[in-house]
């Protein structure tokens, strides 16, 4: 069993991706369930494999106000506490908010898989490869996968990467 956080700035498609992953093979969802550290958003079970998706509220917000700094600190402890992070970006826009989320990810040791979403919306497909290359130079991602959460493209590949990372990387997973 592994805990996975999907993180990213607003509007990159986090909810759409979660619905896509859980919608296919869902066994339980509990949108309001609370644990001390995470809000459990859904559990994906397949045989012995179980992935628990958790929410990381407040990761993207600016730090000018004290309350925001507190929320960011809580979010940072969440991402330090899961087994794997899916960092979701929008392949059509890289923004300062993405950069901010990435800086948070630099502060923890949790492995990060980059999912570049909305590739269905990229008009010039020649731009994708240089973008992916640039990303691979920015951060030591465990893997990088272009996806479309909306159209369901490469979701199977992302799930396979998640599953294999959990199997290899977690000491309590047999
Ligand atoms: P969140 O704020 O990160 O949870 O983002 P949402 O899941 O609410 O998605 C934000 C918007 O992006 C919605 O209008 C989605 O329909 C759209 N969206 C999500 N995934 C995709 C995708 O793969 N392709 C396209 N073209 N739009 C997407």
92 lines ligand 1 (CB under 6 A): no
123 lines ligand 1 (CB under 6 A): no
Q: Rounded to an integer, what distance in angstroms lies between the CA atom of residue 134 and that of residue 130? A: 6
149 lines ligand 1 (CB under 6 A): yes
pLDDT of res. 32 = 44
pLDDT of res. 61 = 63
**Would residue 120 be called left, alpha or beta, if left means φ above 0 and alpha means ψ between -120 and 50 degrees?**
alpha
Rg of the Cα trace of the chain? Answer: 16
12 lines ligand 1 (CB under 6 A): yes
pLDDT of res. 28 = 41
120 lines ligand 1 (CB under 6 A): yes
pLDDT of res. 22 = 81
Q: Above 0.95 for ipTM, yes or no? A: yes
Closest-CA residue, ligand 1 atom 2, reads 11
Ligand 1 pocket: which of 11, 16, 86 to mutate (most atoms <8 Å of CB)?
Answer: 16
Sign of torsion, CA 8 108 33 40?
A: positive
> Which residues of the chain are modeled with pLDDT < 50?
25-37, 171-174
pLDDT of res. 31 = 43
**Dihedral of the CA atoms 131, 132, 138, 140 (nearest 10)?**
180
């Amino acid at each position: 069993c592994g805990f996975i956080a999907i993180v990213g700035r607003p509007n990159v498609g986090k909810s759409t991706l979660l619905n896509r992953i859980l919608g296919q093979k869902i066994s339980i969802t509990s949108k309001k369930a609370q644990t001390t550290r995470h809000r459990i958003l859904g559990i994906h079970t397949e045989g012995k494999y179980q992935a628990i998706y958790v929410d990381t509220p407040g990761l993207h917000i600016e730090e000018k106000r004290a309350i925001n700094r507190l929320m960011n600190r809580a979010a940072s402890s969440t991402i330090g506490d899961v087994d794997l992070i899916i960092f979701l970006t929008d392949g059509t826009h890289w923004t300062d908010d993405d950069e901010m989320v990435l800086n948070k990810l630099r502060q923890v040791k949790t492995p990060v898989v980059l999912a570049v979403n909305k590739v269905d919306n990229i008009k010039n497909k020649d731009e994708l490869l240089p973008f992916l290359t640039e990303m691979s130079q920015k951060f030591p991602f465990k893997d990088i996968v272009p996806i479309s959460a909306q159209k369901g493209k490469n979701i199977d590949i992302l799930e396979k990467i998640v599953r294999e990372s959990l199997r290899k990387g977690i000491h309590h997973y047999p």
